Structure 1
Amino acid sequence: MPPAFHDFAAALTYDDLPEAVLAVLRRSFLDTMGVAAAASTTPMSDIARNCAMALFGTGQAGGSRILMNGATVSPAGAAMAGAFTVDSIDAHDGSSPCKGHAGAAVFPAMLALSDIRGEMKGSDFAVLLAIAYEVSYRAGLAQHATCAEYHTSGAWTAVGVATAAARALDCTADQIRHAAGIGEYHGPRSQMMRCIDHPTMLRDGVGWGAPSGVTAAYLAQMGFTGAPALTCEQAPEYWHDLGKAWRLVEDTHYKPYPCCRWAHPAMDAAGDLMRDHGLTHRQIARVDIKTFHNATRLAGHRPATADEFAYAIAFPVAAMIVRGQVGARELTPSTLRDPEILRVSNATQLIDDPHFTSMSDGKRWAQVTLTLTDGTEITSSPRTPRGDTDLPLSDAEISEKFHLFADPVLGRARAREIETLCRHFDSLAENDFARLRDLCLTPVDRHVPAI
C-alpha cells in the first residue's frame, strides 16, 4: 500500500528525492523567477501588491517579503501578491494533464514560508517544493476526473500549497491532513472557461489558491479541522503510486511563449512554416488554424490588453508570423497596435476540429495552413507544442528565456547570480540559500518601461 498523502508529506526527506525530481525543480525555480521578474512590472502585479500591503499586514506569524518587491506583509499576503505577479504573464511552467499550472502558486507560497522561517537549507526548500508540486498535480488530476466543471489551477494548488506549508510549519501528519482538507474546501473553485471567454486579470486562480493554502496550514497548526480532502482521499487511482512515481517529472512542461498553452502548437507550426519556406509576413494573405474545441474559444483577433493577449490564438500566431518571436516585448501596448500583426490576425480563421478535440486529452494539437498572396497554400503537419516532455526545451533554451525576461528588469549581474544559484539550489547551505531568497524577494530595478 502506498503511504497516505499526509504521511508522505510528513516523512519525505531530501534523500528520498530522485535526481529527475531535483532536475525539474531546478529548472522550474529558474524559469519561474525569470517570469516573475518581467511580471513584476505589470499593472496586475502592482494592484496585487498594493492590495496585499493594504489588507495583509504582519501579525503574530511575522512578515514575509513580496516576490521581486521586498515589501513585508503576512505570509498569506506575500503568497497572494507573488502568485498574482507570476500569473500576470502566462509564461510559467504547467501540466497539460492537469490543464493548468503549479509553480505560479507554489514558489511564491514556499518562498513566503521560507522567509518566515529564515534559517533553511536548499535541501529543505527542495522537499517543500516536491511536496507542493506532487500533491498539487495529483489533486488536480483527481479534481478534473471527478468534477464536471473545469476549474482553475487555484483550486488544486490550494491543496498542494496547504500540504507543503503545513510541513514547513512542522505540523504533524494529522495536522497536514486537515490543512489539505481546509485548503481544498476554501480554495477557489473558479471557472477557467469564464476567463478564456472574457479575459481579465482573474487569470488562473492561483492568486487565491496560494494564500488559501498558506492560511489553511496556519489554521490546521492551531487546531482547526477540515479533513478529508476529497481529491486526496476519495480518488485512489491517482495516489496508488505516490512515492514511487513522480507526476511532476512526467507532466511538467515549460513555455517558450507568454500566452495560453493552447495557442502554442499553432504558434510553433506557423513559425516553422515561415522559416522552412523562407517567407515574409507580407506574403501571408490568410491563416487557417485547425485545433481542438476549447482552443477555438481563445480567439483574440484584436486584444486590447495583455490579459486578452494571454487568452488568444489569432494574435499571438500573427505576432509569430510578423516578428518571428513572441516574448515579453510582444505584450506591450505598441505591439497590440502593430498594423501588420493586426492585418494577419484579422485574416486568421480558427477551425473547431472534432478529431483534434478527441486527441487533446493531456496533449494540445493544432495544424496551420498559410495561404500566400499568390494563392499558394502551405500546410503544416499536425503537432503538439514544444516544451512538453516529449519535445522538451533544452537547458540552454530555458536559460535564454530566463535572461530574455529577467535581464531588462533585474540587470545582467543579478540575473546571472540567480541562475547560478538556481542551478544547484538544493545543495546550498543556509547562508547561500538565504542569498538566493534575497535575490528573489528584494525590489527590482526597472531598467525598462513597465509591460
Structure 2
Amino acid sequence: MPRPFHEFAAGLSYDDLPADVLRVLRRSFLDTMGVAAVASRSDMAGIARTAALALFGPGAAGGSRILMHGDRVSPAGAAMAGAMTIDSVDAHDGTSPCKGHAGSAVFPALLAVADIRNDLQGSDFAVLLAIAYEVSYRAGLAQHATCADYHTSGAWTATGVATACARALGGTAGQIRHAAGIGEYHGPRSQMMRCIDHPTMLRDGVGWGAPSGVTAAWLALAGFTGAPALTCEEAPAFWDDLGSAWRLVEDTHYKPYPCCRWAHPAIDAAADIMRGNGLHHSDVASVEIRTFHNATRLAGHTPASPDEFAYSIAFPVATMIVRGQVGVAELAAETLEDPDILRISRATELVDDEHFTAISIGKRWAGVSIRTKDGRELSTDARTPRGDTDIPLSDDEISDKFHLFADPVMGRARADELEALCGRFDQLNASDFSRLRDLCLTGADAPVSAVS
C-alpha cells in the first residue's frame, strides 16, 4: 500500500531527501530569489504590498516580513504579497506536466511561516520545501487529469502550501490531512486561459493560492476540518510512488527568459536562425511560428503592458530577433514601443498546428520560419524549451541569471552572499539560516529603476 500523503508529510525527515532533490531545491531557491529581487520593483509588487499592509496587519500569529521589502504583516499577508511579487516577472521555476509553477507560491509562503519561527534550521526548511513541491506537483497532475477547466497554479499550490505549512506549525498527520483539504477547497480555481486571452495582473493565481494554503494550516491546527483533499486522495495513480520517486526532480524546469514558457521554444528557434545565418533584424520580412493551440492564444503582437508582454509570443520572438536577448532590459516599458520590434511582431503569423497540439502534453513544441527581404525562407527543426530536464540550464547559467536579476537591486556583495547561502541552505544552522532569511526578506540596498 502506498503511504498516504499526510503521513508522508508528517514523517518526512532530512535524511529521507535524496541528493538530487536537494540539488533541485538549492537551484530553485537561488533562481526564485533572483526573480523576487527584480520583481520587487514592479508595479504589481508595489500594489500587492500596499494591499497587504492595509488589510493583513500582524496578529496573534506574529509578524512576517514581506519578501524583498521588510515591512511586517501577517503570515498570510506576507505570502500574498510575496507570491504576487514573484509572479509579476514570469521567470520563475515551473513544471511543464502541470502547465504551471510551484516555487512562486511555495517560497513566499514558507518564508513567511519561517519568519515567525526563529528556531528553524536549513534542514528543516528543506523538508518543508520538499513536501510543498511534491504535494503541489502531484495535486496539480491530479487536477489537470480530472477537471475539464485549466486552472491556474494557485489552485493546486494551495494544497501543497497548506500541507507543508501545517507540518511547519507542528501539526499531526490528521491535522495535515485537514489542512490540505481546506487549502484545496478554498484555493482559487481561477481560469488560466482567461489570463492568456486577457492578460492582467491576475497572472498565475499564486497570489491567492499561497495565502489560502497558509490560512488553511492555521485553521486546521485550530480544529477546523476539511478532509479529504480530492486531488490527494481520490486520484491514486498520481500518488502510488510518493516517497520512492520525486516529481520535483523529474518535472522542475528553469526559464532563461522572463515570459510565458509557451513562447520559449519559438524564441530559441528564432535566435538560432538569426545567429546561424548572420542576419540583422533589418533583413527580416516576416516570421511564421507553428505551435500548439493554447500558445497561439498568447498572440500579443502589440502588448500595451508588462502583463501583455508576459503572455505573448509574437512580441518576445520579435524582441529576440531585434535585440538578441529577452532579459531585464526588455522588461522596461520603453521596449513595448520599440519600432523595430513592433515591425517584426506585426509581421509575425501564428499557426495553430494540430500535430504540435497533440504532442504538447508534458512538453511544449514550436517551429519557426523567417522570410528575408531577399526572398529566402529559413527554418529550424521543431523544438521544446531549454531548461527542461532533457535540455537543462547549467548551474553557471542559473547563477548568471540570478546575478543579472539581483545585482542591480541588491548590490553585488549582498547578492554574492545570498547565492552562497542558497547553495548550501539545507546545511545551515538556525543562526545562519536566519541570515539567509534576512537577505530574502529585507529587500535591497542599492537603487534601481522601477520595472513597470
**TM-score under structure 1 length normalisation:** 1.00
What residue identity is the alignment partner of 2:197?
D
Q: How does 1:259-338 map to 2 (within 5 A)?
A: 259-338=259-338
The corresponding residue for 1:443 is 443
**Equivalent-residue separation in structure 2 for 1:47 and 1:129 (angstroms):** 27
Task: Report how far residue 446 of structure 1 moved.
Answer: 4.8
Structure 1 counterpart SS, 2:91: coil
The corresponding residue for 2:227 is 227
**Equivalent-residue separation in structure 1 for 2:329 and 2:145 (angstroms):** 37
Q: Identity of counterpart residues, as a percentage?
A: 75
The corresponding residue for 1:15 is 15
**Equivalent-residue separation in structure 1 for 2:2 and 2:245 (angstroms):** 11
Q: Check the 8 A contact 2:302/2:345 in 1, yes or no.
A: yes
Structure 2 counterpart SS, 1:289: strand
The corresponding residue for 2:379 is 379
**Equivalent-residue separation in structure 2 for 1:414 and 1:340 (angstroms):** 37
Aligned-CA RMSD value: 0.5
**Equivalent-residue separation in structure 1 for 2:91 and 2:294 (angstroms):** 19
1:25 pairs with 2:25: yes
The corresponding residue for 1:111 is 111
**Equivalent-residue separation in structure 2 for 1:443 and 1:254 (angstroms):** 23
What residue identity is the alignment partner of 1:300?
G
Give CA-to-partner distance per residue, 1:39-77, whole Å, 9 cap, x none.
000000000001000000011000100000000000000
1:158 pairs with 2:158: yes
- List, as ranges, runs of 4+ consecutive aligned residues in structure 1 with deviation greater than 2 Å: none
Q: Check the 8 A contact 2:70/2:443 in 1, yes or no.
A: yes
Give CA-to-partner distance per residue, 1:341-373, whole Å, 9 cap, x none.
111101100000000000100100000000001
Task: Report how far residue 4 of structure 1 moved.
Answer: 0.3
The corresponding residue for 2:366 is 366
Task: Report how far residue 399 of structure 1 moved.
Answer: 0.4
**Equivalent-residue separation in structure 2 for 1:200 and 1:153 (angstroms):** 16
Task: Report how far residue 445 of structure 1 moved.
Answer: 3.2
Structure 2 counterpart SS, 1:116: coil
**Equivalent-residue separation in structure 1 for 2:303 and 2:445 (angstroms):** 29
The corresponding residue for 1:92 is 92
Structure 2 counterpart SS, 1:160: helix
Aligned length: 451
Task: Report how far residue 444 of structure 1 moved.
Answer: 1.6
Q: How does 1:36-435 map to 2 (within 5 A)?
A: 36-435=36-435
What residue identity is the alignment partner of 2:300?
G
Structure 1 counterpart SS, 2:116: helix
**Equivalent-residue separation in structure 1 for 2:384 and 2:339 (angstroms):** 29
Q: Check the 8 A contact 2:176/2:220 in 1, yes or no.
A: yes
**Equivalent-residue separation in structure 2 for 1:276 and 1:427 (angstroms):** 44
**Equivalent-residue separation in structure 2 for 1:445 and 1:319 (angstroms):** 31
**Equivalent-residue separation in structure 2 for 1:429 and 1:280 (angstroms):** 53
**Equivalent-residue separation in structure 2 for 1:118 and 1:287 (angstroms):** 54
Structure 2 counterpart SS, 1:68: coil
Give CA-to-partner distance per residue, 1:385-436, whole Å, 9 cap, x none.
0000000000000000000111011111111100011011100111111100
**Equivalent-residue separation in structure 1 for 2:271 and 2:59 (angstroms):** 51
Q: Give the unaligned 5+ runs of structure 2.
A: none
**Equivalent-residue separation in structure 2 for 1:428 and 1:325 (angstroms):** 36
**Equivalent-residue separation in structure 2 for 1:197 and 1:129 (angstroms):** 32
Give CA-to-partner distance per residue, 1:248-272, whole Å, 9 cap, x none.
0000000000000000000000011
**Equivalent-residue separation in structure 2 for 1:93 and 1:332 (angstroms):** 22
What residue identity is the alignment partner of 2:252?
T
**TM-score under structure 2 length normalisation:** 0.99
Task: Report how far residue 447 of structure 1 moved.
Answer: 2.3
Q: Give the unaligned 5+ runs of structure 1.
A: none
Q: Check the 8 A contact 2:37/2:443 in 1, yes or no.
A: no
**Equivalent-residue separation in structure 1 for 2:277 and 2:390 (angstroms):** 25
Structure 2 counterpart SS, 1:371: strand
Q: Check the 8 A contact 2:150/2:191 in 1, yes or no.
A: yes
Structure 1 counterpart SS, 2:227: coil
